[in-house]
Structure 1
């Protein structure tokens, strides 16, 4: 399951540099996560780093993008191969 950033985002800029896949970028009003690049840090860390540093807890799992740990690992492996 990819993560999303909700509109509670305060644009504090701490999540973007923590993402090992480069999935987080500045959107029009708040930061956004590219679900095609988000692996929830599977393959890099035990927990999503963006969630760990977010001061307002505005990065939940995206219920519309359900992925198993195996699917996230496969995505990580595809991303790492490029």
Structure 2
């Protein structure tokens, strides 16, 4: 496995772990930073905002995946 694939996998693991920890923290908190008691609807809204924020890293990871695939295919055809 080449370096670019290892970096891609490590980046994916990092973003998945960060999203998971953030989601769990948002769901388990009873009161937010402003002192407002969190209802299930408010918790869900906060998680949706977090999900929207994580679409940017998701797009970057998908573009990176496509680049890695193209490079891998080009390297295989050049070897043969």
More strand by share: 1
More helix by share: 2
> Bigger relative contact order, structure 1 or 2, given CA contacts below 8 A and separation 6+?
1
TM range (shorter): under 0.3
TM-score computed with the length of structure 2 as normaliser? 0.25
TM-score computed with the length of structure 1 as normaliser? 0.25
Greater Rg over alpha carbons, structure: 2
